[in-house]
Amino acid sequence: MSDPAPCATAGISRRRWLAAGGLAAVGLPTAAAVDGLVITPQRLETTTHALASRGSRPDARLRMLQVSDLHLHRIGRLETRLLEGLHDARPDAILFTGDMIDHRRDLWQLETFLRECPAGPRRFAILGNWEYEAGVPREALDRLYESHGIELLVNRSVEFAAAGTRVRITGLDDLRSGRPDAAAALHHAPPTPNHLVLAHCPLSRDVVAMPADHPVDLVLAGHTHGGQVAPWGVALALPSGSGGYVAGWYRKAGPPMYVSRGIGTSLIPVRLGAAPELVCFEWALA
């Protein structure tokens, strides 16, 4: 008569295996939910990138910080860490590339945030689709930015001296909800050796024609949130105006473009596989 012990052991092992599988089936979605709702949305990452204009000089450098898609509702832990990062980096310029707020009731929160930003660097801002779609009054934004010494660029360019040379920043209107017009932004402007374009939607790089006599050294965009929900780095969906761009560098078929993952969230308060990003650029100027 055979010994029943091995069969009993196998049965117990099988039951344990099935139980472990059941726990994993429950545990993995729970872990993903905790990560997406609690951990990743608060995990600010600072990325640093070096770039150079054509004919750059080693003694002419500009340190820039890009803040995109803040979607500000309150000054919480994430926003406090962002402000600390802005101060610690000691930038020469801070660039706000749209979607700072997505409701007019949060204008006072934006005022509080801007008041805490470093006041020394040159600071520039453009509009995103949410400022339009939420009906944030343009006049109120103009006054708010102006009161903090921030230049709001809507189809407008500014030129300033930096490290013994000239830099031009062109801010385009939002592609989805505004009317970007590069020709109007650069009307009567002489060419400069260092030209930066701010465009909230990455697709602007492909569809907004820049004047031939104003070559572009760098385009900075946001809008995508890096997919916002991008498990294993794969964006499940992108908003219109993204043009298939997700995050990071794009250097082919046009001027170099960096797409920031941004800071906040929209539609759902979840980030998964796409942590908030403060971007620092060390730009070697010509």
Q: What's the pTM value of the predicted model, to 2 decimals?
A: 0.89
152 contacts 126 by C-beta, under 8 angstroms: yes
Nearest to 94 by CA among 66, 127, 126, 61: 66
Question: How would you classify residue 197: left for phi > 0, otherwise alpha for psi between -120 and 50, otherwise beta?
Answer: beta
Both tokens of 206, joined, read 């492909």
How many beta carbons lie within 10 A of that of residue 226, not counting itself?
24
What tens-digit pLDDT sequence spans the chain (286 residues)? 444 444 444 444 655 544 445 545 556 567 666 676 769 999 999 999 999 998 999 899 999 999 999 999 999 999 999 999 999 999 999 999 999 999 999 999 999 999 999 999 999 999 999 999 999 999 999 999 999 999 999 999 999 999 999 999 999 999 999 999 999 999 999 999 999 999 999 999 999 999 999 999 999 999 999 999 999 989 999 999 999 999 999 999 999 999 999 999 999 999 999 999 999 999 999 9
| 107: three-class secondary structure by DSSP | helix
